[in-house]
Amino acid sequence: MTAGQTITISPGGAGDAGTVLRLLDAATAWLVAQGRSSQWGSAPASTDPRRLAQVRQWTGGNGLHLARFGEHPVGALVVGAATEHVPPATEPELYVNLLVTDRAYAGLGIGARLLAHAAGLAQAAGVRLLRVDCYAGDDRALVRWYERQGFTATDRFVVPRPGRPGWPGQVLVRRLPAAGTTTR
């Protein structure tokens, strides 16, 4: 990092839709360049009507948080209720709906910082369960990354997609200590 520049995380809002789309488009391009278009497809999110609606919903609520390196947005986190394609939780939870980072800043721990922020939000709300789902096809690299962040894989699922193979997903959970306690 450059002296004086740090990673900060702050709430986002409706004016940040372009930022989220830029991050999603760049991540999609990176995945395609890696030969991993099965995760998010090959078209930019900014050209997909379904993704555009999703980003409007995310930026219109209060669950968006942006990571910034200096003044430059380098990651986005959206938390809220679980999506309809995953089994419901059996206790109160906070669900990670989106985690995306700028690959140009890889190695700075931005994704881990955003997940730690999500855990703090959950604890502040008195919630001890943090869940996320991710792509679980091909090499399952993303599942392993979440496991390294303290999550445990639970339910697998497939989201049907008309005219093409279903999207394989994995739910992961992380149990949190009660607010104000520490773990060893």
| pLDDT the model gives residue 115 | 98
What percent of the chain lies above the pLDDT cut of 70? 95
1 belongs to a structural domain: no
pTM over 0.85: yes
Cβ atoms < 10 Å from Cβ of 103: 17
2 domain residue, yes or no: no
Looking at every residue in the chain, the average pLDDT score rounds to 93
Residue 41 placed within a domain: yes
103, part of any domain? yes
- Looking at residue 81, its pLDDT comes to 95
> Can you tell me the distance from the alpha carbon of 9 to that of 67, in angstroms, rounded to the nearest whole number?
4
Domain carrying residue 75: 7-175
In a domain, 182, yes or no: no
Q: What are phi and psi of 69, to 5 degrees?
A: -105, 105
C-alpha atoms less than 13 angstroms from C-alpha of 28 in its C-beta half-sphere? 16
Domain count, the chain: 1
Task: Output the pLDDT for position 164.
Answer: 87
Establish if 183 belongs to a structural domain. Answer: no
116-154: per-residue pLDDT in tens?
Answer: 999 999 999 999 999 999 999 988 899 999 999 999 999
Integer Cα distance of 33 and 170 in angstroms: 23
Residue 11 maps to a domain: yes
The CATH number of residue 85's host domain is 3.40.630.30
Has residue 181 been placed in a domain? no
What burial class does residue 76 get, using C-beta atoms within 10 Å of its C-beta: 0-12 exposed, 13-18 middle, 19+ buried? Answer: buried
